Structure 1
């Protein structure tokens, strides 16, 4: 195995770089979405993002996966995942209309904990006590961030948590897809299903797009597609236990972008709760790797 000058396997080094870049792209994607929610509905943003991104997803799938990536053996599975994708994205875009970018980002990090809990409760998977403790710790971090029963509590703070739950279902829904299909097929059909399904209901929330906002819609499609592509490649090149924890660098980007654009400053409770959620997520990833 090739290594660099520091002894890190080449695949790991490239995977780490791709994961960090991909997370940065998706963080910019979220910031652009927050800007656009000031004038457009989350559903319209999602629709235009997927419509613009679809040709790029098609080109990536064809270039990397070849003709086989364009074929699905279970189209209905992709359609169901498309419904979950729309639900998760609309929930998150709605949340960032009202919450700080860092707070919303911190709360969606409970998705891996939901995946663990759902897998144990409904899929019959064995979950050890350390992973259960990590799940409990993660949800205690959510309570610290949301602060129910206090003056700081906002009902809208539950939207990112709902986003994480639907996103967990989306990730587990990958098991419905035929194992012969590649990750590029999943990326292509997820984008296409999102565009197709949202097209049915977007007329009820449509607002004419101003010329000065076109760049933002194009940018959100490009950054979103680039981010998902780089993160997918990262998992192909390096072990999940190496690259998955780097997803949490999104909180650094969200905090920086929130401060630079909207002058948002997350309070100590949010940062403390986010630290607990991240730590529990890292423990979950590590324990799954050990298993």
Structure 2
């Protein structure tokens, strides 16, 4: 029987793992932005997934056992892999042109897309409070990208498109056999990502410079570590506790942007990000109560 102290330890461990995982993925994004100055997004994602694949196999074996290497619905993983490659391509492309904090803030609209898609296409019941949160969240997006204004950049729509594709990716997990572990999903996402990006990489391939090898290795390790820790965080603690901690990514993105590229987001970006984050938290809390 689980004691109150055990439950508190699990919740604390989940929160710590979530924060650490978000820090790793934010580092992954900063490394990706650095690499986009010299390499195409498809080459970055191909090498990242190729290097990460053996690590993902080991993680799946250790944490999920030999059964984690097999899937009952491989086509579902292939579809999710396609969405994963599309989302990564859009986001990496946006990083080449936008500040890291701005791109990260716009990505936060993904939970709002998930709610809207669930209601409009999956016929799930969504109350007026969640719909209001979704609408307010998209107002936050408009504040960040400022369509029609002098500061508007069409490339600002790429992180929003990324969030939309990512929402379909998350909902696509419902197509996977529910008996499959999270480690199977991680393994097949990495494997299909390497396979699909590998089809296109010959058209954009550039020789890897010696001084960039450590960047590709680092992006693979940080990305895989981040996904693993976040997955484990959701296994240990309630989503209502760990999911809002995903927004700590904005702190890391702002810090990396300032330290590496001297990027300082303007007040409109911070205001829009705050509205998006608040709306996302409301959606998460309301969905947990509805569930």
Give me the TM-score of the superposition, normalised by structure 1: 0.98
> Could you tell me which residue of structure 1 aligns to residue 86 of structure 2?
87
> Could you tell me which residue of structure 2 aligns to residue 189 of structure 1?
188
> Could you tell me which residue of structure 2 aligns to residue 255 of structure 1?
254
> Could you tell me which residue of structure 1 aligns to residue 123 of structure 2?
124
Alignment of structure 1 residues 6-155 onto 2, 5 Å: 9-155=8-154
CA–CA distance in structure 2, aligned partners of residues 232 and 81 of structure 1: 16
> Could you tell me which residue of structure 2 aligns to residue 270 of structure 1?
269
> Could you tell me which residue of structure 2 aligns to residue 218 of structure 1?
217
Shift of 1:3: 5.4
Which consecutive residues of structure 1, in runs of 5 or more, have no partner in the other structure? Answer: none
> Could you tell me which residue of structure 1 aligns to residue 228 of structure 2?
229
CA–CA distance in structure 1, aligned partners of residues 71 and 108 of structure 2: 30
CA–CA distance in structure 2, aligned partners of residues 57 and 175 of structure 1: 21
> Could you tell me which residue of structure 2 aligns to residue 290 of structure 1?
289
Please list the CA deviations of residues 88-111 of structure 1 after superposition, one character each: whole Å capped at 9, or x if unmatched.
001000001000000000001000
CA–CA distance in structure 2, aligned partners of residues 166 and 275 of structure 1: 22
Number of paired residues?
289
Q: Is the 8 A contact 1:2 1:10 kept in 2?
A: no
Shift of 1:2: 4.7
CA–CA distance in structure 2, aligned partners of residues 160 and 3 of structure 1: 41
> Could you tell me which residue of structure 2 aligns to residue 245 of structure 1?
244
CA–CA distance in structure 2, aligned partners of residues 242 and 198 of structure 1: 34
> Would you say 1:204 and 2:203 are equivalent positions?
yes
SS in 2 for 1:208: coil
> Could you tell me which residue of structure 2 aligns to residue 165 of structure 1?
164
CA–CA distance in structure 2, aligned partners of residues 248 and 98 of structure 1: 22
CA–CA distance in structure 1, aligned partners of residues 190 and 4 of structure 2: 36
CA-atom RMSD in angstroms = 1.0
Shift of 1:180: 1.1
Which consecutive residues of structure 2, in runs of 5 or more, have no partner in the other structure? Answer: none
CA–CA distance in structure 1, aligned partners of residues 255 and 247 of structure 2: 14
Please list the CA deviations of residues 243-273 of structure 1 after superposition, one character each: whole Å capped at 9, or x if unmatched.
0000000000000000000000000000000
